[in-house]
Amino acid sequence: MNKLVARQRLVMTFTFFSMFFGAGNLIFPPFVGAQAGSATIPAAIGFIVSAVGLPILGVLAVTFAGGFDKLASRVSPKFALFLGVAIMLTIGPCFAIPRTATTTSFEMMVAPFVPSSYGWLAQLIYSLVFFTLAFLFAQHPEKLSKVLGRFMGPLLLVLIAVLFIACLIHGIGTPANPMGDYSTNQIARGFLDGYQTMDLLAALYFGIVISANIRAQQVDDESQVQKETAYAGLGTGVLLIVIYGALSYVGVVSGAIATIDPTKDTGATVLTNLTSSLFGTFGTAFLGIVFVIACLNVCTGLIGTCATYFHTRFRTVAGRTLSYRTWQVIFTVFSFIVSNAGLSAIIKVSVPVLSALYPIAIVLVLLTLTHKSLGARFPRVYFWTVLLVGIASFATCISSLVAVFGGSIGWLDAALAMLPLQQYQLGWVVPAILGVAIGIADAPRR
């Protein structure tokens, strides 16, 4: 039975890391450090638990369940298809893919050097080049390790290391006092902000691409493919912990250099303040390069993952056979269009949708990790837990969508306010516990 050697496992780990680590992962930890200041250690611990722990648990759960579709089919096959399509469209062409080319990489790399009157043209040209490169890199998803694992991932790590070393040389001085949301309960606030990275949704399907890359290395035994995918997931977790710790420190240094306004500034502001102070004008370009590489890595991984999923599940549409390359073109072109027209509206709508899908993904992963002791003995637990969590999370989604457009549903908001922990976006926890209890009680009598 073939298995990967240490060097190949390292390449797979870099590939997995590159697919995970985008602009959001780059700006959240410094923002945590800048706000938490002298209390950064507990805040970073909370952030890492949810931003790293949940996605890696998701990778392990999905890997050993034989894929997320098999996992979700424990609720029902139709539910698995619905949830899979919803997750793919949300983390793919309707939100995450277009965002990589506009609100993050373009704003950091190009916008500062282009007159505002030519901004639309610069964005059009930039996004065309960006998506062309991502399309070319994603043409062979089973060979992504050759691009992301051997070159792009290590390059991104080197650039982040340069930033961290520069901060070590500069020193912190006097850390700022905790501010904003991090004035109190830093570990809890860090956990909630890590939850907002939404990496768990991507983790549920990134294994598709990683598994294909492992098989391309002549590993043909399925159980060994699962083990190698798990190794890559654990290695990615270690990398993320180290990088998040380093970036949190970067945020502390930046916060000591220039105070931020938590109500208006973002993690990008924190990084910009730092690089401008340490490197001058060159710092802006340096930071832009880091953002572009991070965004291009994630965009490539998402296009490959989405196209692979739809090619696998929808080989024939309206009587026509659609190849992987056809789905790749569809997602790339659609994302290019969205990135240049109407992205802000898409983002406003997508965030509540993400918040609706995430709790369902969490409970499915937790149920899978406890399957032998719970789900296998009480199979109805899956149905009832997902049903009640889905009602709570989608009700929250509807309320948030109405609020996005300036409206409100009084009775729905009042009902949601009655859920414990709803103020922390965790109103689904009690319904989940209730679902487990009902599922156990609903077990067939022997």
Name the residue with tokens 């802006």: 284
Q: Do 16 and 206 form a contact (C-beta atoms < 8 A)?
A: yes
- Calculate what percentage of the chain has a pLDDT beyond 90: 25
pLDDT in tens, 376-398: 899 899 999 999 999 999 999 99
Q: What is the pLDDT of residues 315-334, one digit of tens each?
A: 777 677 889 999 999 999 99
**CA 218 to chain CA mean position, Å:** 29
Which residue is associated with the tokens 């609903």? 442
pLDDT-derived band at 344 (thresholds 50, 70, 90) equals: low
Could you tell me the sign of the dihedral formed by the alpha carbons of 414, 418, 424, 429, in that order?
negative
Contact in structure between 340 and 184 (CB atoms under 8 Å): no
One-letter amino acid for residue 364 of the chain: L
pLDDT higher than 80, residue 60: yes
**What pLDDT shows up at residue 406?**
84
Report the alpha-carbon angle 59-157-153, nearest 5. 60
Angle at 271 between CA 289 and CA 242, to 5 degrees: 85
Name the more confident of 342 and 205: 205
Distance CA 36, CA 200 (A): 24
- Residue 409: alpha-carbon gap to chain centroid: 30
**Taking 90 as the threshold, does the pLDDT of residue 244 lie above it?**
yes
Q: Read off the pLDDT band of 130 (50, 70, 90).
A: very high
Name the residue ranges covered by the structural domains of the chain. Answer: 6-342, 370-446
Using the predicted structure, report yes or no on whether residue 446 has a pLDDT greater than 60.
no
Assigned token pair, 336: 């290019």
CATH number, domain 6-342: 1.20.1740.10
Burial of 406 (0-12, 13-18, 19+ CB in 10 A): exposed
Average pLDDT, the chain: 85
- pLDDT value of position 1: 53
Rounded Cα–Cα distance for residues 272 and 198 (Å):
24
* Range of 150-159, 207-216, 306-315, 430-439 with top mean pLDDT: 430-439
Question: d(Cα 251, Cα 73) in Å, to the nearest integer?
Answer: 42
Tokens 């294994």 belong to: 207
pLDDT of residue 280: 80
> Could you tell me which residues are beta bridge partners of residue 316?
321
Cα–Cα distance for residue pair 300/152, rounded to 1 Å: 11
In the predicted structure, residue 206 carries a pLDDT above the cut 80:
no
With helix as H, strand as E and coil as C, how does the chain read? Answer: CCCCCHHHHHHHHHHHHHHHCCHHHHHHHHHHHHHHHHHHHHHHHHHHHHHHHHHHHHHHHHHHHCCHHHHHCCCCHHHHHHHHHHHHHHHCCCCHHHHHHHHHHHHHHCHHHCCHHHHHHHHHHHHHHHHHHHHHHCCCHHHHHHHHHHHHHHHHHHHHHHHHHHHHHHCCCCCCCCCHHHCCCHHHHHHHHHHCCCHHHHHHHHHHHHHHHHHCCCCCCHHHHHHHHHHHHHHHHHHHHHHHHHHHHHHHHHHHHCCCCCCCCCHHHHHHHHHHHHHCHHHHHHHHHHHHHHHHHHHHHHHHHHHHHHHHHCCEECCEECCHHHHHHHHHHHHHHHHHCCHHHHHHHHHHHHHHHHHHHHHHHHHHHCHHHHHCCCCHHHHHHHHHHHHHHHHHHHHHHHHHCCCCCHHHHHHHHCCCCHHHCCCCHHHHHHHHHHHHHCCCCC
d(CA 15, CA 239): 12
CB atoms within 10 A of CB 306: 27
Q: What is the predicted pLDDT for the residue at 346?
A: 65
Instruction: Name the nearest CA neighbour of 395 among 380, 411, 374.
Output: 411
- pLDDT for 246-268, tens place per residue? 999 999 999 888 888 888 887 87
Predicted confidence (pLDDT) at residue 445 exceeds the cutoff of 70: no
Helix axes 281-313, 324-340, angle to 10 degrees: 140
> Is it the case that residue 196 has pLDDT exceeding 80?
no
